[in-house]
Amino acid sequence: MDEKLMRTDAHWREQLTDEEYRITRQKGTERAFTGTYWDEKSKGTYVCASCGQALYDSGTKFDSGTGWPSFWAPVADDAVESLSDRSLGTERVEVRCNRCGAHLGHLFDDGPKPTGMRHCVNSASLKLVKHDEK
């Protein structure tokens, strides 16, 4: 992982779209089945929309039926960080980009093998870098 990336709020507001800013910097969420990548099937690497760090590989993406892109593992253990989230009066696990702190979504323990985990991620927090399909 690259070293931590610290930016001002003004920088993020200028760099990101309104939706990306609302989700990644203000811990928002998009409605189910509305994001760009919930049903994406292309091969590639999903990178952080804020800083470009590689987060998830399409090979770990699966259809969770939830309407959000779901992955059973990040590209590397240190690509994302998990933090306790009690914002809705219940305990959840927030997933953030470990480089810039962007809110990605939440982590659940109802995913497929081999990890049994589901990284439920907002499309607006990601950019897909497609692999060459030759």
Give the whole-angstrom CA distance, residue 25 versus residue 39: 24
Name the nearest CA neighbour of 24 among 93, 91, 122. 122
20: closest CA among 108, 77, 97, 119?
Answer: 97
DSSP secondary structure code for residue 77 in this structure: T
Contact yes or no for 94/23 (Cβ under 8 A): no
- As annotated, the active-site residues are 120
